[in-house]
Structure 1
Amino acid sequence: MSAFVRTLFGRRARRRWIHLILGGALAMPYVFVGQLIVGPAMDARYVFYDFVWQLVSFAVGLPLAAVTSLFPLTRTLESGAVRALCGVDADSLAYGPARSRAAKRRTAAWFTLHLGLGGIVSGMSLAVPPLAVVLIALPVVAGLTGSRMGMPEVFGSPWVLALSAPAGVAVLVALAAVAAGCGALLARWAPVLLGPGPEDRLAAAEARAADLAVRNRLARELHDSVGHALSAVTLQASAARRVLDSDPEFVREALAAIEDTTRRTVGELDAVLGVLRAGDAPGTAPAPTLADDLEGLLRRTRAGGTELTADIAADPAAVPPMVSREAYRIVQEGLSNALRHAGGEVPVGLRLAVADGGLEITVENPVTGAATPCRPGGGHGLRGIADRARLLGGTAEAGAVEGTWRLRVRLPLTAQPSQSAPPVQSGQSPSAPSEGSA
């Protein structure tokens, strides 16, 4: 019994009833236009008062509603109302305006259905409750005053008076049942008529892909710039702590390097966060490049006590800007990997060279002992390097070769963006690195 009462008078049923009444309110202007058409056409002088002519006007107005539903915002507004009042899963409804002919036809069918059922339920909601109240009160009023409250003479019969109150309650229950049934029908048909079509799904997929690309780019930039800075600062602070009493001059140099690293990282962080903006704001720090920032990167890496050998056989100033920016990040990540996984005491070698029209980047360090465990959530360095190489049409390889961990990246100096990511070739998966990998 309680389930039956909830079905007819529960929160969901009441909200759907409100949705139907809103449909009836939207139908009223079309009914008025229908009256203006039906009255002169049928020479009906009392069209505003005659129930039959009102139904005819309502039937004439619904096709007009179907035509006006082609207004672009109709589907957006109707979908919002359905999500709020009908208890329909938001993912099953389209969000934007209808663009294709099929979507517009479905929207017109929905709008007509909503206004048609809404007009019927709204009319019943206005007429049935007063009738029910009269039927319920009639036995009491007739017993006290003898009045039939304007009801037909048959309501003077004792049997009719005895059944009048139950009939009034039954009428109210029937109204609730009609409203609940119409609301359930609209809720069932909403995903079919207001749901996304193929073009909507394609647009949503493109939007998700664009958002994912921005998120991946931001994550890659943060990983490479901030991650390298934190690794370098950690090694510099550790080296300074070990020689705090014996080599004050080295400690001063390490602290100065830490200060320079953190100050520069703040500027790089501003540039990275610019990815989230529609465009670079005035004053935003430019992205680092080989020509302007490679020497500082090497100096900060050596400041932590790392034995870094750099063989720069290519002119950084001659590298195209886009390639220079990505190459700097690759070098930064390669050195960061070596520091993080091999330690500051292991010598690291860096070579930049131009061969066969491409920039070759090689970072090497000896493999020492067991692999350093990856931190939780880490292991994305090689994948980021591969992504950067792919975007420029280049290749990336990483792995242990005869006791040496080697990262080798080749970037074409004339960038040719590739649609497929070349695999990072190594004995370890990018998500499960060894020494010198991230």
Structure 2
Amino acid sequence: MRPFFGPRARLRWVHLILGGALLMPYFLLASVVVGAVNDGADAYSSLPAMLTAYATALPLAAVSALFPPARPMSVAAVRMLCAVPGELLAEGPAGTWAARARTAAWWTTHLGVGAVLSGMTLAVPPMALVLLGTPFFAALRESEYELYPWLSALPGRLIAPLLGAALLVALALCAAAAGALLARLAPVLLGPTPADRLAAAEERAADLAVRNRLARELHDSVGHALSAVTLQAAAARRVLDTDPQFVREALAAIEDTTRRTVGELDAVLGLLRDGDERAGPGAPAPTLAADLDGLLGRTRAGGVEVAAEEDPGPVGDWGRLPAIASREAYRIVQEGLSNVLKHGSGPVRLRITAAGTELEITMTNPLAAPAPGRPRTGGGRGLRGIAERAALLGGRAEAGEHDGGWRLRAALPLGTPSGDAR
């Protein structure tokens, strides 16, 4: 009997009564309309007039449910009172006319069925109590026989109480059946539409893109800095007693690297915290024009020989590159040099050229044999990040063994050169 009289059935019953209460304003308005049409006749004076007012109230309720806030209110009530899993219901206001029409259908069904059950809830218990008490109270029996003559026709003293109990059970069964019906209809009428699912998928994709971008920025900036600082510190320690000048240069490079990385980290954390590129006081994203020379200098200070060839070509100057291409190109060069610091060996040959409508980056270096007992660090995220950066701009990138060494190549489309590389 739990499905018919348990806590879930009782909550659904409350939900139906709430629907009946919500229909009352529409019913009162419809009763005024019915009274005006029937020359002022009361809508409560006869059953046909009441049914007419009821039938008129339902379209009014449907029209009011076309407004977007109707769906969140209905979903909240269903989730709380009908025990429908939240993942089956849509979130937020209805954004399309199809979703609004489905919400209107739900609203009309809820209020219409709820009004009928509310009427039964008001009428059946008093009648059942009368039937239960009729055989035992003569005064009640005489007064009720006057109101309900058919009671006097019931044979035996136990027929009326049994009929009263049956009415109460029937009311509970009707409430449970109506509640179960609405619980089944809720995912159909209040569930996410294809447009809702598409919007949710786009939101998840946007969140994933932001997370991937933050991961790339942290990996490229912080990862490169740690690799460079580690190599510079190791080189300085080896020549601490024999080459003080080199040690001073290495310490200066370490200081500059960490200072710049703190600024970049602050900017990335500002994005993570506030979700806005303008958030946080961190340093602006590095570019080829402003930061390539410093990157090469810090790498050389770590003891890696780098031979760089730069050819802006028709662009004329790296400062005229499109801002996004300049930033992504810097990060690609930075990650390539970071891989050399961690896994490869010098010398490094770097060539950056602007040919036609593409910016081409080529970096080659000899392959280094793995050091005995030294595990390889990193999990290939850097190369994957390079490929993602190039793909986001519509370019391409590849890395692998070539002619006995290691080669990284990337091509980024330039579009129309810009004079603003910020």
Quote the residue 1:326 is aligned against.
Answer: 328
Trace 1:36-435 onto structure 2 (pairs within 5 A).
36-43=32-39, 45-48=41-44, 50=46, 53-136=49-132, 142=137, 147-148=140-141, 150-152=143-145, 160-240=156-236, 250-251=246-247, 253-273=249-269, 275=271, 277-281=275-279, 283-314=281-312, 315-342=317-344, 346-369=346-369, 378-414=379-415
Between stretches 113-122 and 239-248, larger displacement belongs to 239-248
Tell me if the contact between 1:155 and 1:161 (Cα under 8 Å) persists in the aligned partners.
Answer: no
Deviation, structure 1 residue 31: 1.0
Unaligned runs of 5+ in 2: 418-422
What one-letter code is carried by the residue in structure 2 that aligns with 1:390?
A
What one-letter code is carried by the residue in structure 1 that aligns with 2:392?
L
Trace 1:29-40 onto structure 2 (pairs within 5 A).
29-40=25-36
Deviation, structure 1 residue 313: 4.2
Say if 1:309 and 1:123 are closer, same or farther in 2 by CA, change over 3 A. same
Q: 2:87 and 2:114 mapped to 1: Cα distance?
A: 24
For the residue of structure 1 that corresponds to 2:397, the secondary structure is strand
Q: How many residues align?
A: 406
Q: 1:384 and 1:355 mapped to 2: Cα distance?
A: 24
Say if 1:207 and 1:158 are closer, same or farther in 2 by CA, change over 3 A. closer
Say if 1:161 and 1:199 are closer, same or farther in 2 by CA, change over 3 A. same
What one-letter code is carried by the residue in structure 1 that aligns with 2:391?
R
Quote the residue 1:431 is aligned against.
Answer: none
Say if 1:302 and 1:16 are closer, same or farther in 2 by CA, change over 3 A. farther
- Which of residues 7, 10, 34 is equivalent to 2:6? 10
Between stretches 60-69 and 162-171, larger displacement belongs to 162-171
Deviation, structure 1 residue 37: 2.0
Say if 1:86 and 1:258 are closer, same or farther in 2 by CA, change over 3 A. farther
Q: 1:220 and 1:337 mapped to 2: Cα distance?
A: 14
Q: 1:165 and 1:47 mapped to 2: Cα distance?
A: 34
Deviation, structure 1 residue 241: 5.0
Quote the residue 2:420 is aligned against.
Answer: none
What one-letter code is carried by the residue in structure 2 that aligns with 1:29?
P
TM (normalized to structure 2)?
0.82
For the residue of structure 2 that corresponds to 1:95, the secondary structure is coil
Say if 1:400 and 1:146 are closer, same or farther in 2 by CA, change over 3 A. same
What one-letter code is carried by the residue in structure 1 that aligns with 2:32?
L
What one-letter code is carried by the residue in structure 2 that aligns with 1:269?
L
Say if 1:138 and 1:374 are closer, same or farther in 2 by CA, change over 3 A. farther
Q: 1:289 and 1:17 mapped to 2: Cα distance?
A: 65
Tell me if the contact between 1:67 and 1:108 (Cα under 8 Å) persists in the aligned partners.
Answer: yes
For the residue of structure 2 that corresponds to 1:84, the secondary structure is helix
Q: 1:370 and 1:174 mapped to 2: Cα distance?
A: 81
What one-letter code is carried by the residue in structure 2 that aligns with 1:232?
A
Say if 1:320 and 1:35 are closer, same or farther in 2 by CA, change over 3 A. closer
Q: 2:298 and 2:15 mapped to 1: Cα distance?
A: 66
Deviation, structure 1 residue 375: 5.2
For the residue of structure 2 that corresponds to 1:151, the secondary structure is helix
Deviation, structure 1 residue 61: 1.0
Q: Deviations over 1:164-189 (max 9, x none)?
A: 44444433332222112111111222
For the residue of structure 2 that corresponds to 1:148, the secondary structure is helix
Q: Deviations over 1:45-90 (max 9, x none)?
A: 5533655543332122112212222223223322333233323343
For the residue of structure 1 that corresponds to 2:406, the secondary structure is strand
What one-letter code is carried by the residue in structure 1 that aligns with 2:50?
Q
Quote the residue 1:25 is aligned against.
Answer: 21
Say if 1:396 and 1:90 are closer, same or farther in 2 by CA, change over 3 A. same
Between stretches 88-97 and 367-376, larger displacement belongs to 367-376
What one-letter code is carried by the residue in structure 2 that aligns with 1:294?
L
TM (normalized to structure 1)?
0.80
Deviation, structure 1 residue 368: 2.2
What one-letter code is carried by the residue in structure 2 that aligns with 1:61?
A
Between stretches 166-175 and 40-49, larger displacement belongs to 40-49
What one-letter code is carried by the residue in structure 2 that aligns with 1:365?
N
Q: 1:363 and 1:14 mapped to 2: Cα distance?
A: 72
Deviation, structure 1 residue 289: 0.7
Q: 1:193 and 1:332 mapped to 2: Cα distance?
A: 53
Tell me if the contact between 1:393 and 1:415 (Cα under 8 Å) persists in the aligned partners.
Answer: no
Coordinate RMSD, CA, aligned: 3.3
Tell me if the contact between 1:128 and 1:175 (Cα under 8 Å) persists in the aligned partners.
Answer: yes
Say if 1:243 and 1:163 are closer, same or farther in 2 by CA, change over 3 A. farther
Say if 1:159 and 1:227 are closer, same or farther in 2 by CA, change over 3 A. farther
